Structure 1
Amino acid sequence: MSARAIWKGYLAIGDVGCAVALHSAIDAQERTSFHIINRDTGNRVRRQYVDEDTGKPVDKDDLVKGYDQADGKTVILEADEIRQAVPDSDKRLEMSAFLPCSEIDTLYLERPYFLAPADAQSIEAYDLIRDSMEAAKVAAVAQTVLFRRVRSVLIRPQGRGLIATTLNYDYEVRDPAESFGEIRKLKIDPEMLALARHIIDTKMGTFDPAGFEDRYEEALAELVRAKIAGRKPKKLPKRKAANVTSLLDALRKSAGAASDTKATGRPAKDRKTPAPAARQKKAS
């Protein structure tokens, strides 16, 4: 069964375009989820808005948005006022600029979506756009109204399709100097640099998300299975802390371990990793 589209519009480069559909690329349903329960009754509980001063519940129809001013006063915004302020969507993704894929700053990437042709008549133009971008090794920047907000979107080819990733605005991304500004430049021992480079070389691999281990999800799923079975949950193995006295000793020890791993013919990219807990549950 094909995925349900969460938005439909028109992808265009000048006069060339096609109807497209946006699909979520992230599925959070695979994660272990919980309900909030009343311990005494075993019943679910629900959230309720309560007036901060009177303590009385507030009906949904009486809820409005408020903006706090510097002088302590609050500006009230009605739902209709907010809707009228948001630009109307023309459902058009106009690719206004292209840039090399190598120049994309991942700091600005927010959330990915699959951008697919909306119907059979759109496939030819869609393929033309995708193939042209892939040949040029470029991504495109476009803007449209998504989820009641004007959003910038980065569109790039992947496989037989296109990935549309919403972008953070410049004012939303904090200045790196806030975190990195006080880092002093130090002169590093050449031996330490050589050892670090050796470790990196022996651990070179490929980007394979299937090998990522979600230890938190795995632990939660095991806890649920154990509670159902009436047993104690199995403990995940703890990572061993290295017993070293200096950074140079740590590098030497790590370099030796990396060399042993390389000698076995099993670099990082080929090691077997446990399947995510959610997939294990499906199989059981």
Structure 2
Amino acid sequence: MSFLVDRNTRVLIQGITGQLGVYVTELMSRAGYQPVAGVTPGRGGTSVGGVPVFDTVAEAADQTGCTASLVLVPPAGLRDAALEAIHERMDPVTLMVDGVPLNLSIELLSKARESAVTLIGPNSPGIISPGQCLLGALDPSRFRPGEVAVVSRSGGMMSTIADNLARAGIGTSTCIGIGGDSVIGIDMPTAVTLAEKDPDTRAIVIFGEIGTTQEERLAELIRKGQVGKPVVAYIAGAAAPAGIRYSHAGAQADGPAGSAQAKMATLAEAGAHVVERYVSVGQLTRELLG
């Protein structure tokens, strides 16, 4: 079982003819997750790796039945591309691009909510349900099917944690990189709630970091009993100086509030299983699963 994407998801890549688009198409296709369509205005009628290219999302949807979009368009064309995907009810719409202006992120999130479309990112590596669907630039070899969901603010760490779980003999149901910006679409509490509702997800692993209030809001859900499945948490940034951005745009704590130590304490008090080293995630999760 999975959530957000599954074997019936038909993937569209916007910006497929660019360098990143070609790379991601090849990556997905080699692993058996070939997109059904691509969009680059003015390049309709061509193809990339056997994937047909269209001028608009509407044309792609009409001719291929695509249902979800991976937006690889550079920042200058991101607004139009994302709004087009939202207008055509692609779901989810995943934004990999980083450096998105705050006002644009807010606008896109608002439009997605109005249209009841799930927006992932910006600055997201994507989402994968191993053996079923890949929507992003993730190495499929590091993920194996199973019963643990992974929700991460970092793309690299999501792959690392999935690999750590696999080495412990544990597979994953759905892994979602929610993005490292301060304003994003689906956030950690929302993603964990979806995992909680998935009948075949038995446990949830989160990778958090300093900045924002996502981990604190998740802790409140756990405290209230709205998340009852075991949650294993690793929070990065314990050594990050206050007031300095740590890797991602949303990873900055101006004082004790929002620090790694504060987040770890809040999650532990709520009942999450907090580890101090990410390499401990696989062993602890295996113990919790019995």
TM-score scaled by length of structure 2: 0.24
Higher RCO (Cα < 8 Å, 6 or more apart): 1
TM-score normalised per structure 1: 0.24
Rg bigger for which structure? 1
